[in-house]
Amino acid sequence: MNNQFIKQLINNKFTTQSIVLLLSTVLSMIFTIGVNYLLTRILDPVQYGNYSYIINIFILAQTLFNFGYFYTICRLISLIDDRKIIREYYCVGLIIWLLLSIVMCVLLGIYSLTIDDFRDKQILNIFLAILPLGSVYLFTQFNESVLQGDNRINLLSVSRLLPRIIFFLCLLFIYLSKKNINLLFVLIVYFCTYIIVYVYIVRKIRPSFSNLRKNFEKIKDINKVYGFPIYIGSLFAVGTGSFVGIALGLLSEDNITVGFYNIAQQISIPLSMIPNIISTVLYKRYVSTSRINSKILLILLSLCIAIFICILLFAKPFISLVFGEEYLTAIPLLKYMCFGALSYGIADFFNKYLLSKGFGVQLRNVSIIVGIIMLLIAYPLIYYWGCYGAAYIKAVTGIVYIISIVFTYKKSIKFSNAD
């Protein structure tokens, strides 16, 4: 009986894909912790804060400069099983990514030259030097979208885990060799680890240049009614969310508090990652289902609440051991960051379902609501409470997001049943 049950589990594609993605995500989080441990020893608190600040800029750039095309390509790929057409769409996506990367580099370069904050904190030359490599962050979103839509969970797992392993090993070598390394070198190594892995993934998918013009026109037309509305919404929700870390740096004398905020954010990540894993595996299946499975949702909620409690119980000894006593300031932020991450994670679970169903306009509206609330409270909270205010923002907008998305989900079910 037990052997038969185990065989059924192994043969169940959803189960095996969930386990593979879960293991890769857990391992990537472990290596991320290891990376941050080494970074806090290689770099001083100010430089670690500068590192976090620069990465936050590129995370925001992912949202600002995709213009919805990656959502559209993901949607198109999820609707077909023809490998040849998928490879053609992938090729168009690569060309779009290259063009968007040029736009991103030019505009971010102009931004950095016109904002005094970069000069005041002595990071202008560093930022300009690594700007071309930073376009790899834009590719990350393209890669995640395409592999999710194509249900290539194994490749998605590789793309999430392998760069962190390589970066960790590089930092470990630097740390053990006791070399004096500056922030620029660390950032170059960081981006190069992603480039190595993404070159492998592109070779694995083997993009096809067939029907290039035809497919580009198709993607462009569909993007107007599907991808672009989602993009507009993401500017308000995801974009403004990424902006919190940047605003914290802009409103502070130095970027030390950005480092504290980053550590609290890293520790709270499991609460948003678990829902992301399950919804990613289910994405292609969602296309043909009428509603979210209530049992899966209940298991997900129970797991996330258990993780939430564990994080709060073990945060202090963990931060003290891994990052050092000087980073204990991050602890008071955690309960708000964790609550926000939990809310965002569950809301994103519903978001993926609605995304697979093509509810782009509705998701845009939800994102606009969340983004407006965030913009209204961001300046006063960060100005008066610094990194604590940034944590409060995460909690408040998490509540707004989950209420809005569940309401939209229920409306979508009624709409589908009416049809």
How far is residue 179's CA from residue 79's CA, in Å, rounded to a whole number? 51
Residue 50: pLDDT over 80: yes
Question: Given this model, what pLDDT does residue 21 score?
Answer: 74
Question: Given this model, what pLDDT does residue 9 score?
Answer: 44
Closest CA to 143 of 74, 192, 189, 86: 74
Contacts of 64 (CB under 8 A, 6+ apart): 104, 235, 239
Cα 90 to Cα 75, 157, 187, 377: the distances in Å are: 12, 18, 28, 40
How far is residue 115's CA from residue 128's CA, in Å, rounded to a whole number? 13
**Domain limits of the chain?**
1-209, 228-413
Model's pTM, two decimal places? 0.74
What DSSP designation does 82 have?
-
Neighbours of 415 (CB within 10 A): 12
User: pLDDT band at residue 1, thresholds of 50, 70 and 90?
Assistant: very low
pLDDT in tens, 142-160: 988 888 888 887 888 888 8
pLDDT in tens, 296-310: 889 889 989 999 999
- By percentage, how much of the chain surpasses pLDDT 90? 30
- Cα Rg of the chain, angstroms: 21
pLDDT in tens, 180-233: 788 999 999 999 999 999 999 999 989 988 888 999 999 999 998 888 888 887
Residue 239: pLDDT over 80: no
- Tell me the average pLDDT of the chain: 85
pLDDT in tens, 322-373: 887 878 888 888 999 999 999 999 998 998 888 878 787 788 888 888 888 8
